[in-house]
Amino acid sequence: MSRVLVARLDGAGDVLLAGPAVRAVAFGRRPDGGAPNDVVVLCGPDGESAALLLPGTSEVYSWSCPWIVKPAPGVDGRHLETLAAFVRDSRIDEAVILTSFHQSPLPLALLLRLAGVDRITAASTDYAGSLLDVRLRPGEDFPEDQPEAERALGIAAAAGFRLPPGDDGRLRVKDYPDVRPLVGDEPYVVVHPGAAAPSRAWPPLHHAAAVELLEGAGHRVVVTGGSGETGLTATVAGPSALDLGGRTDLRTLAGVLAGAEALVTGNTGPAHLAAAVGTPVACLFSPVVPAVRWAPYGVPLEILGDQSAPCRLSRATECPVAGHPCLSSVAPEQLVDAVERLISGVPSLSTRRKVRNP
C-alpha cells in the first residue's frame, strides 16, 4: 500500500469537486494491479471541512498556501518547513496536485520534491523540468473547457489512478447527519443567499421576494448561511421561512441539503455540496468564471443569469459593471419557475451534465 497525497489548496467547493479524483486514487487500480488506497488530502483552511467529508480520505492536512490563500501568509522558512516536515513524517510516496487553469502546481511540486516525494503528477502550462514526473499540458493534453471534476479526474488518470468499476464519477460526501429534528419532516426548498465574492451574489431583496413567491406557491423554505451571514439570512427568510443562518456547519448543511427538494444559490460551495448529495440546483451563476467548468456537477441544474454579460470571464470578486446586471436582471419569478421545473423533473437546456470516467 502506498501513501498518496492529493493536493487541492482552495476552498470547500474546490475540494468537493476534487472528490471523484480522491476516490480514483483511493479505490482505483493501477495498470500494474497495485491498490494505493491510503490517501492524504492536502487542502487550505477553508477546504478542511469539505476534505473530511470525502470518501476515500485517510487523513486531512490543512496548510495556508502563500500563492493560493487570500489574504496570503508571508513566505518564510518556518511556514514552508511545516509542510515539508509533515510530508516527510507522513512517508508520502507520491503526489497528485490538482489545480484550476489559473494556478501553477510548480511551487508546491518544488516543496514536495525537496521533502522527498518520489513521483508527482500535475497539469502545468509552464515547463516543469524535473519537478513533475507526469505533466499534462492544458489545452493540448486535455481541453480547458470541461467541468472541474473531470479535469481533476483526468489528472488522476494521468498518474495511473482510474475510478473503480461501478463508480459513476459524481460528487459524493459521507457521514452527514439526519437533520429532521432541525428542519422537520415536511418537504422544503433551501435558499442559500450568501456568496464568498459579492460579484457572485444575487441581491438580497431579490432572494427575499423569491422566498415569498415560493411560499405563495406552496413550498416550505429553509434559508441557510454562515455565522457571519445571520443578518442576510434573516432578511431573506422574512417572517415565515425557517432561518438556519449560523446554525449549520458544513457537515450539518450537507444533511439539510440532502433532504431538500431543490437548492437556490449562487456559484458557491453549497452548490457543489448539493451536487454531492444529489439535490437539484437552481444556480444564480455570475459569468465571472465559466459555467462549463464551475456549475454544479452531475445533478439536475438550472443556470440563471446573463452568461454573456460584460463581466464575463473577468474573475472579478467585486462586480465591475454598475448595477450588477448579470444577476440583478434575473427576476424572482424566473427563479421560482426554475425551481418548479427542477422539482417536477421537467428538463431545461442547462439541466444535466454528462459524467465520464477518463
> Over 50: is that where the pLDDT of 354 sits?
no
Side by side, the strands of the sheet bearing 262-266 are: 242-243, 221-223, 189-192, 262-266, 281-284, 301-304
Q: What is the pLDDT of residue 33?
A: 60
* Identical fold, 3-158 and 180-344: yes
Question: Residue 10 has what DSSP assignment?
Answer: S
Q: What is the pLDDT of residue 1?
A: 72
Q: Is the Cβ–Cβ distance between 68 and 81 less than 8 Å?
A: no
Q: What is the pLDDT of residue 350?
A: 44
Closest CA to 276 of 28, 53, 57: 53
Q: How confident is the model at residue 355 (pLDDT cuts 50, 70, 90)?
A: very low
Q: What is the mean pLDDT of residues 315-333?
A: 90
R_g of the chain computed on alpha carbons = 20
Distance CA 106, CA 122 (A): 9
Q: What is the pLDDT of residue 128?
A: 97
> Over 50: is that where the pLDDT of 353 sits?
no
> Over 50: is that where the pLDDT of 52 sits?
yes
Q: What is the mean pLDDT of residues 321-344?
A: 94
Q: How confident is the model at residue 101 (pLDDT cuts 50, 70, 90)?
A: confident
Closest CA to 25 of 45, 50, 11, 42: 42
Q: What is the pLDDT of residue 31?
A: 54
Q: How confident is the model at residue 161 (pLDDT cuts 50, 70, 90)?
A: very high
- Residue 349 burial (CB < 10 Å; 0-12/13-18/19+)? exposed
Q: How confident is the model at residue 313 (pLDDT cuts 50, 70, 90)?
A: confident
**Is 2.60.40.10 the CATH number for 3-158?**
no
Q: How confident is the model at residue 248 (pLDDT cuts 50, 70, 90)?
A: very high
The model's pLDDT over 103-145, given as tens digits with 9 standing for 90+, comes to 999 999 999 999 999 999 999 999 999 999 999 999 999 998 9
Please tell me which residue, 12 or 315, carries the higher pLDDT value.
12
Q: What is the pLDDT of residue 351?
A: 41
Q: What is the pLDDT of residue 123?
A: 97
**The model scores a pTM over 0.85:** yes
Q: What is the mean pLDDT of residues 300-309?
A: 94
**Where do the domains of the chain lie?**
3-158, 180-344
Q: What is the pLDDT of residue 219?
A: 98
Please tell me which residue, 29 or 315, carries the higher pLDDT value.
315
CATH class of the 180-344 domain in this structure: alpha beta
> Over 80: is that where the pLDDT of 346 sits?
no
User: pLDDT averaged over the chain?
Assistant: 93
Q: Is the Cβ–Cβ distance between 232 and 159 less than 8 Å?
A: no
Q: How confident is the model at residue 348 (pLDDT cuts 50, 70, 90)?
A: low
Place of cell 479524483: 21
Closest CA to 122 of 1, 10, 21, 52: 21
What is the total residue count of the chain? 358
Q: What is the mean pLDDT of residues 184-203?
A: 93
Side by side, the strands of the sheet bearing 134-136 are: 57-62, 38-43, 3-8, 94-97, 119-123, 134-136
CA 82 to centroid of chain Cα atoms:
26
3-state helix, strand, coil in the chain (%, to 5): 35, 15, 50
Kindly state the cell numbers that stand for 292: 462549463
Q: What is the pLDDT of residue 34?
A: 60
